[in-house]
Amino acid sequence: MELAKEIQEFLLDDALERFIRYVKIWTTSDQSKEITPSTKNQLDLGKQLVGELKELNLENIVQDEYGFVYAYLPPSKDFEKVQPIGLLAHLDTSPSVSGKDVKPVIHKNYDGEPIKYAQDKELTLTFHDSPNLEGYIGLDIITSEGDTLLGADDKAGIAEIMTACNAWSKFNNLKHGPIYICFTPDEEIGIGIDKVDKNKLPEICYTVDGGEIGQLEYECFDAWLAQIKFKGLSIHPGHAKNKMINAIQIASRFFSELPEAESPEHTEEREGYYHLGEMEGKSEETTARMIIRDFVLENNQKRMDYIKSLKQTYELRYPGLKIEIDFKHQYLNMLEYIEKKPLTVELAKRSIEKAGLEVKINPIRGGTDGARLSTQGIVTPNIFTGGQLFHSRKEFIPTLALQKAAEVLIYLAHLWTQQK
C-alpha cells in the first residue's frame, strides 16, 4: 500500500487544523498536586476530543473521572482477528513554561534566518538552538509568539492520532485491525498513567510523543524523584551567632556539592544527570525537588547514595539541622521489556521507511507513558511527533511532521494486518 497524494494532502490539512485548535486549550499540569488530573483544564481538551471522536464514529468513547479519554476503532472488514494495537498521546503540557493563551504562528517557507517572536523581541530561534532546523528550510514552521511554550508536546501527537482516525473513517482503502485510542493526563509530571485502565488497552501500544521526524524510541531513562526538606532554626539575625541554622542557605551549599558535569546542561546521549528543578523556603525550612536520571539503574543508585552521604555530612556540620529525603521511583528503562516483542519495533521501523523517512533510533533522554506501560506488560515504544525544543518558549514543529507522523500510523496499522 502506498498513500495517494490526495490522502497525503488530506493528512497535512487535517492535522494542521487540529493542532492549531488543540494548542490554544490550556492544559498545563501541576506538579504540586498528587491528584489526577492535577489541573481541571485538561478535562476541557478531553471533552472536546470525546466530541470529535464521536463525529468520527469511533466506539466505546469515554472520559473517565481521572481525565483519561478512551475510544475504539473497529477493524476493517475481514481483519477482525488482526493483532489489536493502541495509540496514546498525552493531554497535558509541561509546567516548566506557561501554556496559557498559546498563540501559534506559522512561519511560511522558512528561509533559514533567525526566527523572531512577537512577544519577546530579544528571543530568537536559530540553528544553534536546534541544528535540525537547517534541514527544514523551505518548510512551514510553527512556533508560539514567544511568551509561552507551543504545546507540540504532546498536542502534535493528539492531532496526528486524530487525523489518522479521520483518514481511516474517510478512505475505505486504508485497511486496519482493531485500534484502541487513549489520551492520558499528567504525563509531564509522571503521575497520570498510575490511573490508566489497562483493560481498555491491548498488549501492544505505541505512544506518539516527541522526537524529531523519523525518530523511533524504545529505550529511556531509569527515573527517580528526590524530594528533600531542610529543617533549620530561624533567629533574629542581630542575635544569630552560633544559634541560627539557615535552612535555605545550607540547602544552596548542599546542592552546590553535586557534580556540575552531571547536570542536564553538561550531558548528552547516554550520560545521566541530577537536575534540581525547584527549591523554595526560608531560613526555618526549605524544600527542594530534584530528578535523577540514567539509562543504568546502578548509576542512579550511586547518585542517591551520594545524596544520602551529603545528608550525613551536613547534619554533622550543622548541629540541629535535619534533612529529610524521600526518593520515589518514577519509571524503569523500557528496553528489556520491548526487546521481548521485536516485531513491535520492526513494524514501526518499516512504517517510518514507507513514509519516505530515514529511521532514527535514539534512546529517550526523558520518559513517556510507554515506559510505565511496558514494565506492566503492555509493550509501548514511541513514535515521533516531529516537534523540537519541548518545554521551552522556543518550541517548534514543521507542519510536514504532522503529516508524516499520521502517515506512519496509517502504514503501521496496515502492516499489522499482514501479520499472521
Annotated catalytic residue 147: no
Q: How far is CA 371 from CA 45, 198, 395, in A?
A: 24, 14, 23
pLDDT, tens digit (0-9, with 9 covering 90-100), for 77-86: 999 999 999 9
pLDDT, tens digit (0-9, with 9 covering 90-100), for 117-156: 999 999 999 999 999 999 999 999 999 999 999 999 999 9
Least confidently predicted of 12-26, 203-217, 363-377: 363-377
pTM (whole model) above 0.75: yes
Domain boundary among 303, 330, 357: 330
| Together in a domain, 81 and 200 | yes
Residue 420's pLDDT band (cuts 50, 70, 90): confident
| Together in a domain, 198 and 240 | no
Q: Cell numbers for 300, please give them.
A: 542512579
The C-alpha atoms of residue 164 and residue 151 are separated, in whole angstroms, by: 20
Residue 291's pLDDT band (cuts 50, 70, 90): very high
Output the domain CATH number for residue 284: 3.30.70.360
Annotated catalytic residue 92: yes
| Together in a domain, 229 and 144 | no
| Together in a domain, 178 and 66 | yes
The C-alpha atoms of residue 142 and residue 400 are separated, in whole angstroms, by: 10
| Together in a domain, 114 and 228 | no
Sheet holding 205-208, edge to edge: 59-63, 69-73, 179-184, 85-90, 205-208, 382-383, 215-217, 360-361
| Together in a domain, 86 and 175 | yes
Of the candidates 14, 52, 92, 407, the residue annotated as catalytic is 92
Domain boundary among 264, 296, 330: 330
Domain boundary among 297, 330, 363: 330
Q: Would you state the pLDDT for residue 221? A: 93
Mean pLDDT of the chain: 96
Structural domain harbouring 171: 5-220+333-417
Output the domain CATH number for residue 105: 3.40.630.10
pLDDT, tens digit (0-9, with 9 covering 90-100), for 5-20: 999 999 999 999 999 9
| Together in a domain, 74 and 214 | yes
| Together in a domain, 232 and 203 | no
| Together in a domain, 189 and 227 | no
Of the candidates 153, 160, 186, 187, the residue annotated as catalytic is 187
Residue 31's pLDDT band (cuts 50, 70, 90): confident
Residue 1's pLDDT band (cuts 50, 70, 90): confident
Residue 330's pLDDT band (cuts 50, 70, 90): confident
Q: Would you state the pLDDT for residue 102? A: 98
Query: For 48-64, what is the mean pLDDT?
Result: 97
Q: Would you state the pLDDT for residue 210? A: 84
In degrees, rounded to 5, the angle at the alpha carbon of residue 319 between the alpha carbons of residues 313 and 320 is: 115
Residue 367's pLDDT band (cuts 50, 70, 90): confident
Query: For 230-247, what is the mean pLDDT?
Result: 97
> Angle formed by the axes of helices 297-317 and 247-256, to 10°?
140
| Together in a domain, 289 and 141 | no
Query: For 281-292, what is the mean pLDDT?
Result: 97
Q: Would you state the pLDDT for residue 357? A: 98
| Together in a domain, 37 and 107 | yes
Query: For 256-279, what is the mean pLDDT?
Result: 96
Surface-to-core class of residue 372, CB atoms within 10 Å of its CB (0-12 exposed, 13-18 middle, 19+ buried)? buried
Number of domains comprising the chain: 2
> Angle formed by the axes of helices 152-170 and 399-417, to 10°?
50
| Together in a domain, 86 and 178 | yes
